[in-house]
Amino acid sequence: MTALAVADLRVRWATGAPAVRGVTFDLRAGETLGVVGASGSGKTALALAVLGLLPDGARAGGSVRLRGEELLGRSDAELSRIRGKDLAMVFQDLSSLNPVRTVGAQIAEAVRVHRRTTRAAARAQAVELLDLVGIPHAPQRARAYPHELSGGMQRRVLIAMAMAHDPSVLIADEPTAGLDVTVQAQILDVLRTARASGTATVLIAHDLGVVAGLADRVLVMHDGRAVEQGPAEQVYRRPRTPRTIALLRSAPRIAPRPARARPPGPAVLAVDALVRHHGAVRAVDGITFDVRRGETLALVGESGCGKTTALMEIVRLARPRRGRITVLGEDTATLRRARRRELRRDVQLVFQDPYASLNPRMRVRAIVAEPLTAHRLPARERVRELLDLVGLDPSHADRRPHELSGGQRQRVGIARALALEPRLLLLDEPVASLDATTQAGVLNLLQALQSRLGLAFVFVAHDLAVVHQIADRVAVMHAGRIVELGPADELYAAPAHPYTRALLDAIPIPDPVLERARPRVVLHGEAPDPANPPDGCRFRTRCPIHPALPPAARARCAASDPEPRPTGRPDHQVACHHPLPEPAPPTLRRTT
Amino acid sequence: MTRVAAGLVLLAALALLAAAGPALAPWAWDEIDFTAFGEGPSRRHWLGTTQHGRDVFAVTVHALRRSLLIGAAVAALATFLAALVGTVAGYAGGRADRALMWCADLLFVLPPFLLAAVLAPGAGTLALVAVLAGLMWTSTARMVRAAVRSLRDREHVLAARLAGVSAPRTIVRHVLPALASLLAVDAGLNVGAAIVAESGLAHLGFGVRPPGVSLGALVADGGPAVLAFPWRFAFPAALLVLTAVAANLLADGLRDALDPR
Amino acid sequence: MAAFLLRRTGRAALQAALGASLVYLLAAAALDPRAHLAGRAPRPPDAVVDARLARLNLDPRVPPSARYRVWAAGVLRGDLGRTLDGRPVGPELHRRLAVGVRLVLPGAVLGSALGIALGVWAAARRGRAADLLVTPLTYVLAAVPVFVLAVLAQTAAGAVNDAAGVRAVTWTDDTASGLLLPTLVIALAQAALVARYQRGSTLDVADAAFVRAARAKGLRRRAALLRHALRPALVPQGARLPHTAAMLLLGGMLVEQVFGRHGLGAWLAASVARGDVNAVAAVGGLAACAVPAAALAADVLHGLLDPRVRPA
């Protein structure tokens, strides 16, 4: 039976700009449709039009039928009897939860809108729903306010609210946006259970990897149109339009790569047992690593693991609370003011958000020249050189940041960081806010600059797929500690720490058949509270292998937090009492 | 945008009236017509006379000029103080921030009418301007401080610091330009608020000292006698309200025009 | 929560004490009570004046800091000193305050409630007839100083009386009907101000993602606005409480005068003119306590409205 039939749907914003230009699809009960496209392709407008929640002034035309009944043109009163009951939505924005009411009350409200029941009964059902979407300690969590829950938990609450009446159709708009890969995998599992109860699901995402494991059919959107539509297997394996091919190509993949030896020479940066606490929060709790000239070290981990804090601690060039930071052979604790200012030229930072990091009122020329003029260096010629170096046209010098694309803005940020000819570049998620296709360009540029200028990079990222292309060595961080550090090829091919393994497993493969067939280790729970980490091994509470260990081995995990030790493989160390064994043929284990 | 235009036109008209009024009026503001005490509007005295025989039009236009000047001076001084203290407190943070904001809080606690009452007698208009500015800058300073604090954590400001740009230069290049619109709006609002506040003080007898006149003083004088001599109240009161509306229109319109939301 | 409240209360008390002390010192330093006493006819001998001033703790030959210590010790015992004519300040302050509260409080409460309702109503019907009527009206009304409004109200009432031929509306006594006009004036002024802010803050929240999400649950547009936007939109209003308190205090004094009441405003004006330091310090000290008290109330209100600022 057809749950939802959309025919020739067209949407125009209040300004008259078209958002959706004629999209048609059918959705049967229990089926999942993946709607995929880049930002601005009209996916969200499509969802809002189906719900009748377009912003004031926007208009929708065509037809939307829910179980045969036309929805377009109905009044707010009529639609409100359907919304939340037969047709529910999970919004992308986490601010969809009212900050001043408990999550339990908000779910109970969703229950009572469509069902006459007592407050107490609605409350009880809210707790059941929280339990259903996998929130532990549901009765207590129901009394929590949204800000007391993590992003993943908030997303679960939004799903619970949408599931209150077992809707015929559920629309989930980027339900994993902004989540770590491990939590993303958990949320996708929750949506899988929704599908099992017969709900037809529209799953909106910006990359094909996310929907590969879930969607029966896929619709690719571009510029308000459905450029390709069909069964998932067909769209992934035999894409017909260039747009789909481009989307498939930009999805992160991890292919085996040749090993590279560490470059010789002294360390440009050496961090030794660095500690940084914010009050009770142990953001960075003793990390050790070094980077050499021409080398890239990636610091990878979920949000809150302390990787950005570590970066900011390095860039301060000040005496750390505990531990030692050595830059170009100089201990930052012993630096005098003038010398610190000198050294600052050698250590530069590239920011995550190329929009926020550029002053919107300044022209590109002034932005790139700023470090030069601050150090009383001639700027004119050098700015032209720098723009050329990062692949920007001289004409870009007179533009302002908002006149540039995201990729161009990030290139400006890189040019500014290079202005003082640094020897160490700290990169804080430099491609995280860019579209997948632009990401590749910026990563290529960084690689080219590194080999040309002999720079050392510390590259912070939240998932392993992004750094795969650029990293020589990878340090995986969890709860303020480095749990595994080793050459990129080793680490990807044969992770020694169960956490690294789980991070790799959580990266979705953009192929429905492989994605559904592969054995996966899904992490349960979320990163521990950095103010109150578990005693013993901090990963113990989430560890997939811990429950299966014999009691004597488990006791070790509870007794002490493992220190990093060599695995026996070159330049490879792991902080685990029970590291994963090295596979017999060490190559080609994870081919996709 | 229409509000900005309306506010501008209205303010310009009022300023023009204040500037050209004395030339238009057949009487000087302090001239006394001994043949007409407390008379109603006539051809001789367009808006009537006061009980002392002054021409209401001439006096009111003169008062408008005084009130506009007070409003502008107070707004300029208050906004300058607020920008200075707010920026320093917000950018420096820590102990300096707490000390400055504590002072601002304390000033806000002190009743302004009392300051005016105690300080203004004898000291004249300048003291009045200082008192009114002292009353108004604290809330603006809080706003500026909050804005600076959020700007300070903005990545482009951090980028400037890391590039080796000095703190004063960072403030001038990266912080103040972003505050300009906020300060302009607030200065506009303060003009209206200062004129109204001065008139409130005048009502309690703490405003502009005689023989000087302000709109507030005229309204305060005219109020009790409104039933007998409505013209002495109506014209100054109307100008007072118009000035406040114009300043608010301009400021609110600017805020909406500058706010991208 | 208790520790937070205690800390905030302590801060408010410290601010009030500092503010009141500053007020006293300012008044003691700037005012000259001698001129008033000596200016009486027949002119009293200097020795009598000095003795009187010394008895009242107003002797200008004693440094203000020493006088402050005597005054502060008295205040801690609950004794606010005496006025120039020798009457105790405390009961007088009490009486005058009661006049002001009777006049202002009902109007302030009524006006705030009305303003919030009007603001939300206008926001809910943004761009429609109700909004286009209410919003400009509140805009102009908010720009009219309260004492002008009071005079206008009197004029209107006078016209009504003339037309009716009897004194149907009075405003000089503290009976229910006598309080009607002042209450109306305060309520109108307060409502206009509150409505303007409330409309703005409601509109700020009306487009929030959580209001849209509430509609996706099946709530009608207006229900979503009332159930989800009202409370967050009240937060900025609460933050304005100290400011409102200061405005009401001043506005109340002005309205008192226009309606011929002998309240705090008249007392303050007369006391400043006479150089009556103790009376001035009492009125000023009252204001210096009112603002921190309102700030404390605003903090508590903010905590009640928004769980995000509640200390764990």
State the DSSP code for B51: T
Task: Select from A353, A370, A375 the Cβ nearest to the Cβ of B155.
Answer: A353
**Mind telling me how many Å the CA of A536 is from chain C's nearest CA?**
27
* A586, pLDDT greater than 50: no
* C110, pLDDT greater than 50: yes
Q: Which residues contact B95 (CB under 8 A, 6 or more apart)?
A: none
- Rg from Cα positions in chain C: 24
Q: Which of A125-134, A542-551, B39-48, B83-92 has the lowest mean pLDDT?
A: B39-48
Q: Which of A200-204, A349-353, A581-585, C83-87 has the lowest mean pLDDT?
A: A581-585
* A220, pLDDT greater than 90: yes
In the A/C pair of chains, how many CB contacts fall below 8 A? 75
* A589, pLDDT greater than 50: no
Tell whether A548 lies on the interface with C, counting CB pairs under 8 A. Answer: no
| Residue of chain A nearest C207, judged by CA positions | A55
A455/B20: higher pLDDT:
A455
Phi, psi of A143 (to 5 degrees): -90, 5
Contact A449, A316 (CB under 8 A): no
What number is the average pLDDT over the span A340-354? 90
- pLDDT tens track for C235-287: 888 888 888 888 888 888 888 888 888 888 888 888 888 888 899 999 989 98
pLDDT confidence of A578, banded at 50, 70, 90? very high
Q: Which residues of B touch C272 (CB under 8 A)?
A: 117-118, 206
pLDDT confidence of A441, banded at 50, 70, 90? confident
How many C-alpha atoms does C298 have within 13 Å on its Cβ side?
Answer: 18
User: Across A384-398, A574-588, B167-181, which has the greatest mean pLDDT?
Assistant: A384-398
- pLDDT tens track for B128-143: 888 888 888 888 898 8
Tell me the residues of chain B between 103 and 142 that have a Cβ less than 8 Å away from chain A: none
Give all chains having 3 or more CB-to-CB distances under 8 Å with chain A.
Answer: B, C
Tell whether A246 lies on the interface with C, counting CB pairs under 8 A. Answer: no
Angle at C260 between CA C259 and CA C264, to 5 degrees: 100
* B20, pLDDT greater than 60: yes
Tell whether C215 lies on the interface with A, counting CB pairs under 8 A. Answer: yes
Q: Would the CB atoms of A370 and B163 count as touching at under 8 Å?
A: yes
Give, in order, the Cα–Cα distances in Å from B144 to each of A43, B33, B138, C239. Answer: 39, 51, 10, 16
Phi, psi of A571 (to 5 degrees): 50, 45
Q: Would the CB atoms of B164 and A351 count as touching at under 8 Å?
A: no
Angle at B169 between CA B163 and CA B172, to 5 degrees: 125
Q: Would the CB atoms of C208 and A114 count as touching at under 8 Å?
A: no
Provide the phi-psi class of A2: left if phi over 0, else alpha when psi is between -120 and 50, else beta.
beta
Q: Which of C31, C148, C261 to mutate against chain B (most B CBs within 10 Å)?
A: C148
Task: Select from A341, A357, A374 the Cβ nearest to the Cβ of B155.
Answer: A357
Task: Select from B119, B203, B230 the Cβ nearest to the Cβ of C147.
Answer: B203
pLDDT of residue A592: 43
What number is the average pLDDT over the span A179-196? 84
Pairwise CA distance, residues A501 & A256, whole Å: 15
Task: Select from A344, A351, A371 the Cβ nearest to the Cβ of B155.
Answer: A351
pLDDT of residue A228: 94
Q: Would the CB atoms of B162 and A348 count as touching at under 8 Å?
A: yes
pLDDT confidence of A509, banded at 50, 70, 90? confident
| Predicted ipTM of the assembly | 0.81
pLDDT of residue B188: 85
**Mind telling me how many Å the CA of A302 is from chain B's nearest CA?**
21
Q: Which of C126, C201, C217, C220 to mutate against chain A (most A CBs within 10 Å)?
A: C217
pLDDT confidence of A176, banded at 50, 70, 90? confident
What residues form DSSP beta bridges with A568?
none
* C166, pLDDT greater than 70: yes
Q: Would the CB atoms of B162 and A375 count as touching at under 8 Å?
A: no
Angle at A258 between CA A256 and CA A259, to 5 degrees: 120
Pairwise CA distance, residues A150 & B132, whole Å: 48
**Residue that is written with structure tokens 């409004």 in the block:** C149
Pairwise CA distance, residues B55 & B42, whole Å: 11
- pLDDT tens track for A125-140: 999 999 988 888 899 9
Nearest Cα to A523, choosing from A574, A479, A470? Answer: A479
Tell whether B169 lies on the interface with A, counting CB pairs under 8 A. Answer: yes
Give all chains having 3 or more CB-to-CB distances under 8 Å with chain B.
Answer: A, C
Strand A169-173 vs strand A200-205: parallel, antiparallel, or unpaired? parallel
Q: Would the CB atoms of A85 and C218 count as touching at under 8 Å?
A: yes
Average pLDDT, rounded, for chain A: 89
Q: Which of A345, A347, A359 to mutate against chain B (most B CBs within 10 Å)?
A: A359
Q: Which residues of B touch A416 (CB under 8 A)?
A: 159, 163
